[in-house]
Chains A and B, each alone.
Chain A
Amino acid sequence: MIRTAAVLFALLTAVAASAQDPLFDPDDFLDPRETGGRPVFISRIVIGAASDMNGDGFRPLAENVGYLHLANSFSWRSVQFDYKRTQMKAEDGEAAVWEIPYTRFNEDVIVFLPENARQTRNATPKSKDTLHAAWYWPVGSGGGGIPVILRSRVTFATQPIAADVEKLGPTPETTTTQRMSGRERTFALETDTWFRIAGHNVFGSLAVSETKTTGTLANRKERALTYTNRFPSISLDRAKILIRPTLTVGGITGRDSSGVNLVNPAIEIFRPFAQTGANLHVIWSPQWAANGNNWKVTHQVAVLIDRALFVKVF
């Protein structure tokens, strides 16, 4: 009996913006009070590398990757628009892939694959395009007469996915490879939050997102609800270093577990170099994610440098 199994290794490349901003995407918050009502355009380039990188927001890839990112921000009064283009390269020259441990014959029949057949690196990701539309709004005051400004943001990201799918035959000679062209799209809503507890400010971000993959053999849809607490940074004044801790917790659908199935603390070390205009970031971001009852951790470490290419205040 000839059994043709669609062995699928779909590839959902790195950093499709889920609710979590990509590790390589520097903050672009711009307090509208600081622009004085004048339009501001800033174009920024980011280059860097990361080990044990996660992709697609919260999906483990465990890849070492290089990264090139171009961010363009236009701010005017209380609104901000961003267009970002990103490209990632994995250590073997191809894109990072997401491991699919099973093959799906149809909606009801899933066959788990042996360990050695679970991975492929035949995917070539295209550049990812991200659009943000954000608006800033005042709320209350942090204990004095100055209102706090928070930001809400809508994100749309799209990334083509070219996948090589191997169809296994009874002998190696009958195994064929099929090229598929799909895409992944993410839609996310995110808003800053601010509370006063016992006289202290508690800042964070609440985000919901939906990431949908189509045109591959591993089409899927994932929704995430996350809260990121943004703790005050620690400043090492003499070294001009800032250390920022954050903690993200959330629930993600499609993980065979309900409730909180994501815990992602992060520490970012930031060092600006005023002479060159470049900023160095070193980020450690361990991510615990549950699949069923199994929690897995990946220890992302990223080093990147960003620099403004163009700053125009109109």
Chain B
Amino acid sequence: MRIHVIKTLLCVLLAATAAQAQITTSNVNVLVTGKRCGELKDVYLVINGKDREESWVKLEPAGTCRWKADLGDGTITTSNAKFSLRADFARSDCQKAAANETDMTANLQFACCAQGPLRNVSVKVDPPMEVTYVRNVRPYAARGIPCLEKATFTDGQVAIGGAQFSGEDVYLHLWPVNRKQPTPGLLLDDIVADKGPRVLNRGDVAQRLMVQRAQGKAAITPTLSSNALSLDLKKLAELKFERAQIEVIK
């Protein structure tokens, strides 16, 4: 009986502590560790997966390897907000901020910098149509958490900045993204080549989607589903999709 009471009190205490650890704030402090952190110049935060460059938050220097940002009206809650870092030659995985209740700031600490080259990828879809890319970012540091980052372009001209294919999968969506149950889409990792632009027509896109499913890269059991292939061709025809040109621009 006594043990139960102690357990219950402990749980309540822990829950209360956890509840206290959550704050809502507009002030974010960023610490970057690692030998190359001093080389970082322009540093940005991607918050809650909003990956269009216009949505990136530019950080102000606040000391050696330290930056800060005031989000103004755009407050975040530390328990559920997800952040990742963008800089000239690096990107981070995603993580949640630690709450500093004393000065009411959200504190982030990223390790600089993950291995693997960064690529800026350009996609041009013909005819122009709404296209979304989704970055499925895997955690590669101790504090990391999996996350999805995305951006939508209404004119079919897509720019994907700083893609690091060793730590993330980048998917192109020609159809609306289901927010509750996101689907992978067209995986660009295997398509992007440094040797020049790659053009995919309707059949090529359907074939690539088929390959993804068959190789277990579509978040389903590996399958050679003829029905899925027929559905892809049908949907691409409905979109009047003709081709997509994919190119590494930097």
Contact = CB atoms under 8 A, between A and B. Distances in A.
A138 B169 CA distance: 19
A138 to B, nearest CB: 6
A151 B220 CA distance: 9
Interface in A274-289: 274-275, 277, 279, 281
Nearest to A231: B222
A233 B146 contact: no
Interface residues of B, number: 45
A306 B181 contact: no
A145 B219 contact: no
A138 B181 contact: yes
A306 B224 CA distance: 12
Given A145-B148, A194-B221, A29 B230 contact: no
B224 A34 contact: no
Interface string B209-245: 0110111111111111111111111110010000000
Interface of B is mostly: mixed
B203 A275 contact: yes
A147 B137 CA distance: 13
B183 interface: yes
B79 interface: no
Contact of B228 (A34, A274, A313): A34
Size category, A interface: 35 or more
B134 to A, nearest CB: 8
Contact of A313 (B215, B223, B238): B238
Interface in A231-286: 231-233, 235, 237, 240, 242, 244, 268, 270, 272, 274-275, 277, 279, 281
A144 B148 CA distance: 8
Interface stretch (A35-43, A58-66, A100-108, A160-168): A35-43
A42 B231 contact: yes
Nearest to A274: B203
A281 B226 CA distance: 10
A275 B233 CA distance: 10
B233 A277 contact: yes
A232 B222 contact: yes
A73 interface: yes
B81 to A, nearest CB: 15
A308 B222 contact: no
A141 interface: yes
Contacts of A35: 231
B50 interface: no
Nearest to A149: B220
B231 A242 contact: no
B138 A233 contact: no
A306 to B, nearest CB: 5
A34 B183 contact: yes
Contact of A30 (B182, B211, B227, B238): B227
A232 B226 contact: no
B153 interface: no
Given A144-B137, A311-B231, A242 B219 contact: no
Contact of A145 (B137, B176, B203, B222): B137
9 contacts: A31-B213, A145-B136, A146-B148, A203-B221, A231-B222, A237-B211, A244-B214, A268-B224, A270-B214
